[in-house]
A = this chain, B = another copy of it.
Amino acid sequence: METRCENCIVRKFNSLRAMNKEELKQVSDAKVTKKFKKGDALFEEGEKLNGVYCVRDGVSKLSKLSANGKDQIVKLATTGEVMGQRAVIVEEPTNLSAVAVNDMEVCFVPKEIIVDSMHKNPDFTLEVLRHMAHDLKEADDVIVNMSQKTVKQRVAEAFLYLKNNYGVDEEGFLNLTLSREDIANVVGTATESCIRIISEFKKKGFLKTSGKRIGIVKEKELQSLIDGF
């Protein structure tokens, strides 16, 4: 396992790539690598974060509890992504919970180092800003989808998202397997509705399943359904 941040490939994909050697050394010296099992919580909504979490391996769901007791998954964070940045920047408790979707390896970086770099290195700050700007755009898109698309369309979209971002295995099943409940929480619907729609897609030959695993069979048909026939 590579323990020096300077040599970590993961870094290439996130804002840490804008750090200079000295800063990276600091991060490397202060960081703590942690492992989480599938289902473990990295942090909970309302918690004060003392640093950020850089994903080395695995996927985490970032969710927010609603008044009626349902989780809404707002984002999936993957290898290379940094979690908790927002809360550290605004110095507020985090508004999201992070739970491991599969086994994870994560580097925890104390906030002092991040904050320090943000004050001194505009390139780094700007890089963080770019990432946040990207997230904000995605959030805007989600808002529009939520209000304007049907549940069926959003479920279809979720599968294409999973395919495009995590790929498929040799048998054609999605690499990232989410429970039906998680999919429902991404899409913002009831678990039963989600299951029903998956069944329908299966019946129509758009999808295939094998246990929890799901594979996309007719991508075009799914896409045209999303676009509104």
Q: Is the CB of B132 within 8 A of A132?
A: yes
- How distant is the Cα of A123 from the Cα of B119 in the complex, in angstroms? 7
Set B120, B146, B148, B227: member contacting A122, Cβ < 8 A: B120
A residues near B (Cβ < 8 Å) are 64, 66-68, 70, 72, 74, 85-86, 89-90, 95-96, 118-123, 125-126, 128-130, 132-137, 139-149, 187-189, 227-228
A92 to chain B, nearest CB (A): 8
- How distant is the Cα of A126 from the Cα of B95 in the complex, in angstroms? 20
- How distant is the Cα of A118 from the Cα of B118 in the complex, in angstroms? 12
Number of this chain's copies in the complex: 2
Q: Is the CB of B134 within 8 A of A90?
A: yes
Nearest 6 A-B pairs (CB), nearest first?
A147-B188, A66-B148, A139-B139, A146-B146, A125-B125, A122-B122
**Known contacts A140-B96, A146-B188; A130 and B89 CB within 8 A of each other:** yes
- How distant is the Cα of A118 from the Cα of B121 in the complex, in angstroms? 11
Instruction: Specify the main secondary structure of chain A where it touches its partner.
Output: helix
**Known contacts A118-B122, A136-B136, A139-B139; A90 and B130 CB within 8 A of each other:** yes
Q: Is the CB of B129 within 8 A of A89?
A: yes
A132 to chain B, nearest CB (A): 5
Q: Is the CB of B148 within 8 A of A70?
A: yes
Contacts of A123 in B (CB 8 A): 119
Q: Is the CB of A72 within 8 A of B143?
A: yes
- How distant is the Cα of A133 from the Cα of B91 in the complex, in angstroms? 11
Q: Is the CB of A227 within 8 A of B144?
A: no
Q: Is the CB of B227 within 8 A of A67?
A: yes
- How distant is the Cα of A187 from the Cα of B143 in the complex, in angstroms? 10
Contacts of A96 in B (CB 8 A): 140
Nearest B residue (CB) for A121: B122
**Known contacts A67-B227, A122-B125, A132-B136; A144 and B74 CB within 8 A of each other:** yes
